[in-house]
Structure 1
Amino acid sequence: MNLDDVVDGQGALRFGRFPRRPATVDPLRRRSLVPSGLRRMRLKQWVGWTLVHPDWAGSMILQDAGYLASAELYVAERATGVRHEYQAGARRGTLRLPTDLFQARVPFRRGGFGLEYRFDRAGGAHKIVIDVAAHDDAPAVRGELTLDARAAAPDLAVSSRLPGGTLYTTKATYPVSGTLRVGDRDVVFDPARDAAILDEHRSALTYRTGWTWGTFAFHDTDDDGALCGANFAVRPGLPGQEEESGLWSPQACEPLSDVVFTPGGRRWTDAPGALAARDDLDHPWTVRSRDGRLDVVFTPDGLKTVGLSYGVVAMDYVQIFGRYSGTLTAGGRERKVDGAPGVLEEMKARW
């Protein structure tokens, strides 16, 4: 498949699984009878990271929802469950997520919230720069992380048709080094132990949308510390279309499908207010693919929730951070997953 552009020379969007992220990903360039302004409002774009560390959980996102832009960050100590959250908003059009992402800078600053991604695949390293001021009871978070692009697991890059829309996503996992200072504490990242997982989306989602998603990464000590992991999701789809799921090993990102999430306690969306139910932290989840190549149990450490409703726009969202244990089969061998840090989330939205 052509790696230069997700849109072909005739203006049609390419669908399928790419061996790596195309150099340019801009679904708005596709030929369409729908005015570009309306398509831009519908396109949901974000670039986020999940940080994999044995003692701390962390996640961040820069997002362009079409009608507004936003940035979020949280860090949490696993042992205590204490979580610090930071966020900032901006007007529509003020956040630019470059279509040639892997050779671009993505800066965001509003007030005391500063976050910048510096991508340089050709140079072999990406950087995340965080400069977020303290607020209320949350300490300042500052530091720089370096992601080793030369030692990264192969990309998961998928373009698919959805019922009433389209999806494009890139997932990738990198060894990470550097230090984040959280208040007066240093969180040191070791590239032989820790990782950062990329989540890029450029998707034309329907007004009512939702998904269940999870990811984790680990260095396989039985395979010379090879960086391995998994990304898995369930959302409404169409027959024959690629899913945004895969298994990482040094050899490849192998396609994965038919993933089943089984919550151990009450489902988040069973009733209003269930998103923040303490029961959700007291019961492990199981996540399995029907072919058995992914078979893990997810044990929660803590969670972040977002619940909002502004007329036609609403969101029920929860991301649980925790640990995965079990097995995955990738790179020609079954691999033991032993407490690998990761996340599991569910989203239901009108946007």
Structure 2
Amino acid sequence: MTTPPRLVESGSRHHGWFDARPSDVNPADEFSGLRRRWHDFRTKEWVGFTLVHPELYGAMIIQDAKYLSSSEFYVRDRASGRLTEFAATARGGFAQLPRILLEGGHCEFVKPGYAVRYDFDDAGGSHRVRFELAATASSEAVSGELLLDVRQASPALSMSARMPRRSTLYTHKRIFPASGHVTVGSRTYGFHAAEHLVIIDEHRSQLAYRTEWTWGTFAVRLPDGVVGANFATRPQLPDEFEESGVWTPEAAEPLHGIRFTPDPGDRPADLQAPVTVVDADGRLDLVFTPDGHKAVRHQLVVAAIRYAQMYGSYSGTIRARDGREWAIEGVPGVLERMDARM
């Protein structure tokens, strides 16, 4: 559908699959007074990036759960298997995640020894990601800067949906050619826009108190152009869009009925087992092979966040609605399991 300028206009929220991100996204605008304050507290917000590079796995995130702000960053060298990771927490509201994001928005999570910053400039044609993480007893220092090419980016996967238990979901995802560098200790990984990619994942969602999902993503540059996929399972209402889709060189196309086998949420969880990923219409036929994982746990009195993000490679086939298909082999990507009380 055509993208509205705001997710919520005159107290009415738009739902559906958009051509792009609305300029202004704040789910709490649907309400007023005390209800607005409550729904603002319920809105969980994050902006993260997955790095796509043949020599490393990597990701970063800035998030605000309203009772807790946090940020994580990791890089794993694919040849040596060395994992370098950092995490920081702060009070709710500490993370900067502006509702008007792409038109000059600045995100940051900065504490002594830990700094992750994003600067967005759609009109100028590029977004900038910067990070400076001091060495710890277990991790070498990490620094870097990545410039994301807006003009050569994929179509946007941007959607709004109603969810069970009076919850809602908004997400924006897009693939960008990336140039710059990531330095870990004395090793520098170069990023070149003609070869390397970064995937943004933004959420502004009013999630149920007990929330769970399994989610994965990848992207790859092929002779036809950049293709990729984003897929997830979570409690869903009938006839509502899911946050799953295939990126073709020309479009972001919705998917539905994602199934993971085995699902990393099954007990007992085996985070080393290969996982098949399929959809209801035969557009995805993938196997994810884990190469490792990072785990995050936050435990408060009545709230908890527990998730594991596996990094590894995808192989198989993805298909467009028009029947075109692309075979992929050993493409870096991630697969994540979240279980939370929010």
TM beyond 0.5: yes
Q: How does 1:82-93 map to 2 (within 5 A)?
A: 82-93=82-93
Give 1:136's aligned residue: 137
Inter-partner Cα distance in structure 2 for 1:25 and 1:41 = 15
Q: Is 1:300 aligned with 2:302? A: no
Give 2:279's aligned residue: 289
Give 2:267's aligned residue: 270
Contact 1:175–1:227 (Cα < 8 Å) also in 2: no
Per-residue displacement from partner, 1:302-350 (whole Å, max 9, x unpaired)? 1011234333112331110011011111274211112111000111111
Inter-partner Cα distance in structure 2 for 1:80 and 1:19 = 41
Q: Is 1:317 aligned with 2:307? A: yes
- Alignment equivalent of 1:335, drawn from 297, 311, 326: 326
User: Taking structure 1 as reference, are residues 100 and 308 closer, same or farther at Cα in structure 2, changes over 3 Å only?
Assistant: closer
Give 1:244's aligned residue: 243
Give 1:348's aligned residue: 339
Deviation at 1:173? 0.7
What code does the residue aligned with 2:86 have? Y
Q: How does 1:83-162 map to 2 (within 5 A)?
A: 83-103=83-103, 104-162=105-163
Deviation at 1:30? 1.1
SS in structure 2 of the partner of residue 29 of structure 1: helix
Deviation at 1:245? 0.7
Contact 2:24–2:100 (Cα < 8 Å) also in 1: yes
Q: How does 1:126-205 map to 2 (within 5 A)?
A: 126-163=127-164, 164-205=166-207
What code does the residue aligned with 2:257 have? D
Give 1:37's aligned residue: 37
Inter-partner Cα distance in structure 2 for 1:331 and 1:236 = 25
Contact 1:152–1:174 (Cα < 8 Å) also in 2: yes
Inter-partner Cα distance in structure 1 for 2:301 and 2:93 = 22
Give 1:230's aligned residue: 229
Question: Runs of 4 or more off by more than 6 Å in structure 1?
Answer: none
Per-residue displacement from partner, 1:161-209 (whole Å, max 9, x unpaired)? 0012110000111111111110000011122222101000000001000
Deviation at 1:36? 2.6
Stretch moving more, 114-123 or 324-333? 324-333
Contact 1:63–1:71 (Cα < 8 Å) also in 2: yes
Q: Could you state the TM-score of these two structures normalised by the residue count of structure 1?
A: 0.92
Per-residue displacement from partner, 1:92-122 (whole Å, max 9, x unpaired)? 2222211111121112210110111011111
Inter-partner Cα distance in structure 2 for 1:215 and 1:77 = 19
Inter-partner Cα distance in structure 2 for 1:86 and 1:208 = 26
Give 2:215's aligned residue: 213
SS in structure 2 of the partner of residue 142 of structure 1: strand
Inter-partner Cα distance in structure 1 for 2:161 and 2:32 = 17
Contact 1:78–1:302 (Cα < 8 Å) also in 2: no
Inter-partner Cα distance in structure 1 for 2:92 and 2:300 = 17
Inter-partner Cα distance in structure 2 for 1:82 and 1:2 = 43
Inter-partner Cα distance in structure 2 for 1:178 and 1:260 = 36
Deviation at 1:292? 1.1
Deviation at 1:267? 4.4
Inter-partner Cα distance in structure 1 for 2:190 and 2:320 = 29
Inter-partner Cα distance in structure 2 for 1:297 and 1:190 = 27
Gaps of 5+ in 1: none
Contact 2:217–2:230 (Cα < 8 Å) also in 1: yes
Deviation at 1:77? 1.1
Deviation at 1:233? 0.5
Q: Could you state the TM-score of these two structures normalised by the residue count of structure 2?
A: 0.95
Stretch moving more, 24-33 or 134-143? 24-33
Gaps of 5+ in 2: none
Stretch moving more, 144-153 or 185-194? 185-194
Contact 1:89–1:110 (Cα < 8 Å) also in 2: no
